[in-house]
Structure 1
Amino acid sequence: MDEPTLTGSLLVATPLLEDPNFRRAVVFVVDDDPAEGTLGVIVNRPLGLAVGEVLENWSGVATEPAVMFSGGPVGTGAGLALGMPGGDHAPLGWRPLEGAPHEGSQVEGLGVVDLDTPPEILGGALGRFRVFAGYAGWGAGQLADEIDEDAWYVVPAVVDDVFSAEPESLWPRVLRRQGGDLALVSTYPDDPTLN
């Protein structure tokens, strides 16, 4: 039997995770391979830099807010883009996520966009598009250890998480929609010493 994959899920930082790179982060898992490791992007950290300032030709394609996002602490000099076709066909320069999505996730049609593809060819075929500077990465077994240490909640993703118009409020919203104890965690104060 195959091991369950985390591809297409969200990793939501627990209040105990104090690493400044991931404090209150919501990470969308782009690829999870038990032998190779896990790659994801932080979807709730918009940067104050318009997509057009970095990738001029892609400025008219980006989903609002049309800014670059800090995808994570690894490879910050490179971009990783996610998108959804606006129609029924898979356009050139777009590929779906590998494998079946995490149980409960609703990310059908979400995939990786090759930024080397001319936007004139691909841009009009995309209904949604977001660019991340850098990514979050874990070696084989590393993320499983962090989950076991209560650093992350693993929850199903929906497409609107990745393309949220209000990314700064994503951490409490994702937790709240889980219900139960996680909904209660969504009210955890940013600085508990001020409570």
Structure 2
Amino acid sequence: MNGFQSLAGRLLVAMPGISDPRFEHAVILLCVHDPDQAMGLRLDQPAPETDLRSVLLGLEMPAPDAAEGRPVRVGGPVDKSRGFVLHTDDWMSEDSSIAFTSGLALTATRDALIAMTDLVSGPRRSALHLGYAGWGEGQLEDELGENVWLTADADLDLIFDGDHETKWSRALTAIGVDAAWLSSQSGRA
């Protein structure tokens, strides 16, 4: 694919009227983007009635007090039983962390779950996502060409804060777009 430019480390912000209701008002951080595929984590959808402590107990792992009340997010509709820890790169698992942009990494192993509760040597910021959003070869590029998504720079506060209700509008504001002015129609000019 000539001229391919990876969007890994950038945000996808859903346009109004997106045809897939699972992504309405979605803000997704792209973690992998190459000519063959794209993979990202939705940032604005908390997992209902689930916190980090309940996940740890379900995995029969120690659940320290620091896990109590820590929210868990729905990362996307694919493989919802699989967990991904999105975290700052000040903590890395030697064998399994993947740094995909300056300051951020992704780890899908149990040691990342333990590190999330380690207030001394764990990552400064982290979030557990169940599932992910995925695209096959050329699929994301087609959606971008149809104006289904806007792209924005990643912002650590937006990525990790717990204000899920306003993430979409804040992501739009960060790129100078007022949600009230967006049309629910998409397509090519």
Q: TM-score range by the shorter chain?
A: 0.7 to 0.9
Aligned to 1:104: none
Aligned to 1:187: 180
| In 2: Cα distance, 1:147 partner to 1:85 partner | 29
Any residues of structure 2 matched to 1:71-86 within 5 Å, and which?
A: 71-86=75-90
Aligned to 1:110: 104
Aligned to 1:19: 20
Taking structure 1 as the reference length, the TM-score comes to: 0.77
CA separation of 1:125/1:175 partners in 2, compared to 1, >3 Å: closer, same or farther? same
1:137 equivalent to 2:134? Answer yes
SS in 2 for 1:117: helix
Taking structure 2 as the reference length, the TM-score comes to: 0.79
SS in 2 for 1:55: helix
SS in 1 for 2:81: strand
Aligned to 1:97: 99
| In 1: Cα distance, 2:153 partner to 2:115 partner | 32
1:166 equivalent to 2:163? Answer yes
RMSD of the TM alignment (CA)?
A: 2.7
SS in 1 for 2:39: strand
The Cα of 1:92 is off from its aligned counterpart by 3.9
CA separation of 1:178/1:109 partners in 2, compared to 1, >3 Å: closer, same or farther? same
| In 1: Cα distance, 2:71 partner to 2:174 partner | 26
| In 2: Cα distance, 1:141 partner to 1:155 partner | 20
The Cα of 1:95 is off from its aligned counterpart by 2.6
How many residue pairs align between the two structures?
A: 174
| In 1: Cα distance, 2:34 partner to 2:65 partner | 34
